[in-house]
A and B are shown apart, each in its own frame.
Chain A
Amino acid sequence: MSQELPSSSPVASAAGTPRTYTCSWCGLTSGGADLSCPACGAAVDVRSVVSKSGWTALPGRRDMAKLQFGSSYCQIEGTYVPVADMNLAAGDSVYFTHHVLLWKDPQVAVTSMGLKGAWKRMLAGMPLIMTQAAGPGHIAFSRDFPGELISLPLQPGQTVDVREHLFMVATSAVTYDWFQSNIWFTTKSGDETETHYPLGMYLDRFVAPAAPGLLLLHAGGNVFVRRLEPGQTILVKPTAFLFKDTTVSMRLHIERPAGTWRSWRSWGDRYFWLRLHGPGRVAVQSAFEPFEDNGRDISSHSGATQRQW
């Protein structure tokens, strides 16, 4: 008798046995006839890579993997700095921050989106412009840093909170908003007070209110995800934080290693952490910007917890 194959093996479908495949990344159940999940592009025949501490690596993606949204599709090309190459059908549209545009067909029209209060948000000194592209036609996006492209298909009602400036492109079914991260502290030098935002001043929030949508992010280096149980906490480097479910709450945590004291004003006498409190999914990136700490005394903060070892 032939060996029994697990129902999730793509070989099983080749043998003609009716079966379904549930993607380990996005949870979509598909026929599994393709080599990659049609909703998120993750390869179907790879095992989840989970570290002993519980972080799951972003699932492997075949070069040129295709994912579908509405009647359009997106092909993800390249491995170091991946490109999202969209083939937009008539009637479908996507929006993006204008600096990620790589190339487009001349007939694809791009227009800027009116955003309430958008003047408050700046990216590297430039106003953050949300730009919209409507089908039919091809348009492609990439960012300027080696890393991974994360596809987050959002089911109706699903919400995700994302660190600012990681957003690459989303379909028009996804609405975009932002809120104050409320992770900050101030330092004082004489009369001068400086406010620091280890996580950035704002977080982006993406919701698919009615119809399913697709959200693409680009992270630096490699991406790791874990699911926190209710009440479970973990400390992550604030600049490494990528995204979280809205059920996960955050708080600043300041740690001082043993052998240092408050009068020891130099870098390295304290660590800033982001404490993430479950339940829900959290993700980190392995390449992150350094957080500049001037080492001065903290005069106030956003309700941070502290620990002196």
Chain B
Amino acid sequence: MTDPHLPPPLSPDAPLVRLECQWCKSMNEPGALACRTCGAPLDVKDMVSDSGWREAPRIRDMTEIQFGASTCQVEGEIVPVAEINLGAADSVFFEHHVLLWKDDTTRMSVLPLTGGVKRALAGMPFVISVAHGPGRVAFSRDATGELVVLPLHPGQELDVREHAFLLSSHTIDYTFIRIKGLRNILFGGNGMFMDRFITTSAPGLLVLHGYGNVFERTLKPGESLQVEPGAFLYKDASVTMDVEPVKLTSGFFGGTSMNLARMTGPGRVGIQSMYVHHTTD
């Protein structure tokens, strides 16, 4: 913690700001500047809008995050890089297109997936690669945005927009689910699949990349919200997503409608502020 970019530590007589990370709810020792589990700065004000959206924490350049016997260092701010130093028994999995660089000696393999042949990414077969420790490997995606670090506690289930995940630790089970309903597939703007990440007994680290800025909101049971489908980034498996048409009534152009995804709680919903626009029908 001798990084010159970091602000000086709090003075001893200053009131203790918080021990609990407001983003991932992990506990940190007093005086810590960044959460050791998710990298969120602990000494800045929590950014929550009046409408209840929490901004994904702006991770300070070069912040280090612990997971298992490995570390992840977040570098850069406009298109951030997640640089992983894998412990000997640890591994991470990812989609091949986010790989930035790796050590010569970092061993690679492919995650066996059932039904993976049905999925294709830009014409290429969909392959989940695995990097095994010890060694370093780094990831980034192709646009301005934020890294969303989501430490998963045991027994969690999270659904993620396809191709939005950057990396996941090996303690997390990965599967993908077919999005149900023709309207969801055709007008949902999320493709046909959603990635699903499940933890059973061990915690795990999941890192996503969202385009633009990322916001999260927790919906109460039965509370719902309409989101532009292209803005959807992730949700707890308990949140349901239904794409529904919103008719724009007009004297001249009756019949024009747009599609919005209705998210219904309970659970967390994550959105990105920059998205690919999908045409109206």
- The residue that A105 contacts in the complex, of B49, B226, B277, with Cβ under 8 A, is B226
* Cβ–Cβ contact A81 & B51, under 8 A: no
Segment touching A, from B61-69, B201-209, B245-253: B245-253
A170 at the interface (CB under 8 A from B): no
Among A105, A126, A138, A140, the most chain B Cβ lie within 10 Å of the Cβ of: A140
Query: Which residue of chain A is the closest to B252 with respect to CB atoms?
Result: A114
* Cβ–Cβ contact A77 & B253, under 8 A: no
* Cβ–Cβ contact A77 & B213, under 8 A: yes
* Cβ–Cβ contact B144 & A146, under 8 A: yes
* Cβ–Cβ contact A75 & B213, under 8 A: no
A168 to B143, CA, bound (A): 22
* Cβ–Cβ contact B228 & A80, under 8 A: no
CB distance from A200 to the nearest CB of B (A): 18
- Which residues of A are found within 8 Å of B211, using beta-carbon distances? 81
* Cβ–Cβ contact A112 & B248, under 8 A: yes
With A104-B226, A110-B246 in contact, do A80 and B146 touch (Cβ < 8 Å)? yes
Contact with B along A131-158 (1 / 0, CB 8 A): 1000000101011111000000000000
Interface of B is mostly: loop
* Chain B stretch 232-281: residues in CB contact (< 8 A) with chain A: 246, 248-253, 256, 258, 260, 262, 271, 273-277, 279-280
A64 to B262, CA, bound (A): 25
CB distance from B220 to the nearest CB of A (A): 14
* Cβ–Cβ contact B51 & A142, under 8 A: no
- Which residues of A are found within 8 Å of B197, using beta-carbon distances? none
Query: Which residue of chain A is the closest to B144 with respect to CB atoms?
Result: A146
A244 to B124, CA, bound (A): 47
Contact with B along A214-238 (1 / 0, CB 8 A): 0000000000000000000000000
A106 at the interface (CB under 8 A from B): yes
- Which residues of A are found within 8 Å of B226, using beta-carbon distances? 103-106
* Cβ–Cβ contact A142 & B273, under 8 A: yes
With A87-B50, A111-B249, A111-B250 in contact, do A106 and B224 touch (Cβ < 8 Å)? yes
A127 at the interface (CB under 8 A from B): yes
- The residue that A81 contacts in the complex, of B49, B256, B258, B274, with Cβ under 8 A, is B274
A66 to B251, CA, bound (A): 35
Query: Which residue of chain B is the closest to A143 with respect to CB atoms?
Result: B274
B108 at the interface (CB under 8 A from A): no
- The residue that A146 contacts in the complex, of B212, B224, B228, B248, with Cβ under 8 A, is B212
A127 to B252, CA, bound (A): 13
A79 to B146, CA, bound (A): 10
Segment touching B, from A19-27, A94-102, A171-179: A94-102
A131 to B246, CA, bound (A): 12
Contact with A along B141-154 (1 / 0, CB 8 A): 00011100000000
* Cβ–Cβ contact A80 & B212, under 8 A: yes
Contact with B along A261-275 (1 / 0, CB 8 A): 000000000000000
* Cβ–Cβ contact B49 & A102, under 8 A: no
Query: Which residue of chain A is the closest to B248 with respect to CB atoms?
Result: A112
A82 to B249, CA, bound (A): 29
* Cβ–Cβ contact A80 & B49, under 8 A: no
Among A64, A80, A99, A101, the most chain B Cβ lie within 10 Å of the Cβ of: A80
CB distance from B77 to the nearest CB of A (A): 9
Query: Which residue of chain B is the closest to A76 with respect to CB atoms?
Result: B49
A78 at the interface (CB under 8 A from B): yes
CB distance from A52 to the nearest CB of B (A): 26
A63 at the interface (CB under 8 A from B): yes
With A78-B273, A83-B215 in contact, do A103 and B231 touch (Cβ < 8 Å)? yes
* Cβ–Cβ contact A142 & B212, under 8 A: yes
* Cβ–Cβ contact B51 & A80, under 8 A: no
A66 to B49, CA, bound (A): 10
B193 at the interface (CB under 8 A from A): no
* Cβ–Cβ contact A78 & B227, under 8 A: no
A87 to B52, CA, bound (A): 12
With A75-B50, A101-B228 in contact, do A80 and B250 touch (Cβ < 8 Å)? no
* Cβ–Cβ contact A104 & B260, under 8 A: yes
With A77-B49, A80-B213, A144-B277 in contact, do A63 and B55 touch (Cβ < 8 Å)? yes
- Which residues of A are found within 8 Å of B144, using beta-carbon distances? 80-81, 146
A110 to B213, CA, bound (A): 25
B residues with a Cβ closer than 8 A to A are 47-51, 53, 55, 58, 78, 144-146, 211-213, 215, 224-228, 231, 246, 248-253, 256, 258, 260, 262, 271, 273-277, 279-280
Extra contacts besides A75-B51, A81-B212, A126-B280 (14): CB < 8 Å = A63-B47, A78-B213, A81-B213, A85-B50, A85-B51, A102-B273, A103-B231, A103-B271, A106-B224, A111-B248, A112-B253, A113-B250, A114-B251, A138-B51
28 contacts between A and B (CB under 8 A): A63-B47, A66-B50, A78-B273, A79-B213, A80-B144, A80-B146, A80-B212, A81-B144, A81-B212, A83-B215, A98-B258, A99-B277, A101-B260, A102-B227, A103-B227, A103-B271, A104-B226, A106-B224, A111-B248, A111-B249, A111-B250, A113-B250, A126-B280, A129-B280, A142-B274, A144-B275, A144-B277, A146-B212
